[in-house]
């Protein structure tokens, strides 16, 4: 009976972990789709954009006096948005910038600031002191009709100029990803979408990380 009870708890724990991850990820995508549908280019004002999307992560200078509002969905999401506000105060464009077409524009020798303006804030920045390089990672969706994510990496030299780029499988899709890493991503997704109370309740229900790790290991 004890073994059966442990197995049931383990199954339930793993199910909730996967369910919460799905809710957080879908919440980001679903909310954004609704916001985008309610903003019409040439009609929506800066005020409308701020009401729907909130305060931008960063405001970039655009062409002819325009301003570009950056709305970041990393690290839990797989999209970043750049919304252009013209000098008339109206939204002239709304673009999801983590695309293969944009990645193709990244060239060797390009400064970091230019890449940052093109792609938005990365999900992770990793310095490699011995190699004197910096790796900037973005999570993105490979194709329109897919749920599988990839990681696009741009490598900068010590002067912060591009020396290489490339894509690789997303570790989040890896079944051997650690529970601590999964929970860390979930918490970032929760904060991003205002689910922090839900996440805190989730952690209280299952106790410390050690229990969740044991539960997940029990069904592997």
Q: Across the strands, what pairs with 91?
A: 85
Q: Does the residue 191 lie in any domain?
A: yes
Q: Does the residue 211 lie in any domain?
A: yes
Quote the strand ranges of the chain, DSSP E: 58-61, 67-72, 80-85, 91-96, 124-128, 133-141, 149-156, 162-169
Q: Does the residue 219 lie in any domain?
A: yes
Q: Does the residue 58 lie in any domain?
A: no
CB 62 within 8 A of CB 84: yes
Q: What is the predicted pLDDT for the residue at 184?
A: 62
Q: Which is nearest to 106 in space by CA: 122, 129, 127, 84?
A: 122
Q: Which is nearest to 29 in space by CA: 133, 139, 166, 136?
A: 139
Q: What is the predicted pLDDT for the residue at 187?
A: 57
CA distance 190 to 25: 9
DSSP 40-91: -TTT-BHHHHHHHH-S-SEEEE-GGG-EEEEEE-TTTSS-EEEEEE-TTSBE
Residues of the chain with pLDDT under 70: 1-30, 144-146, 174-220
Q: Does the residue 108 lie in any domain?
A: no
CA distance 128 to 121: 19
CB 83 within 8 A of CB 93: yes
Q: Does the residue 18 lie in any domain?
A: yes
Range of the domain at 199: 1-37+174-220
Q: Does the residue 23 lie in any domain?
A: yes
- Count structural domains, the chain: 1
Q: What is the predicted pLDDT for the residue at 4?
A: 47
Q: What is the predicted pLDDT for the residue at 144?
A: 66
Q: Would you say the pTM of this structure is higher than 0.85?
A: no
CA distance 200 to 209: 12
Q: Does the residue 1 lie in any domain?
A: yes
């Amino acid at each position: 009976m004890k073994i059966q009870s442990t197995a049931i708890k383990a199954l339930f724990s793993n199910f909730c972990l996967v369910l919460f991850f799905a809710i957080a990820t879908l919440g980001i995508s679903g909310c954004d789709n609704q916001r985008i549908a309610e903003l019409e280019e040439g009609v929506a004002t800066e005020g409308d954009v701020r009401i729907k999307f909130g305060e931008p992560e960063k405001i970039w200078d655009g062409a002819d006096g325009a301003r570009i509002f950056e709305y970041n969905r990393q690290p839990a999401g797989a999209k970043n948005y750049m919304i252009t506000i013209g000098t008339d105060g109206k939204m002239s464009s709304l673009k999801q910038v983590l695309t293969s077409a944009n990645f193709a524009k990244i060239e060797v020798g390009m400064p970091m600031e230019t890449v940052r303006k093109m792609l938005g804030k990365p999900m992770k920045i990793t310095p490699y002191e011995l190699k004197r390089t910096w790796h900037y990672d973005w999570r993105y969706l490979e194709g329109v009709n897919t749920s599988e994510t990839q990681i696009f990496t741009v490598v900068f030299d010590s002067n912060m100029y591009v020396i290489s780029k490339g894509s690789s499988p997303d570790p989040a899709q890896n079944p051997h990803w650690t529970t601590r890493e999964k929970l860390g991503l979930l918490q970032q997704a929760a904060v991003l979408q205002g689910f922090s109370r839900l996440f805190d309740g989730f952690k209280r229900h299952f106790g410390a990380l050690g229990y969740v790790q044991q539960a997940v290991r029990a069904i592997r």
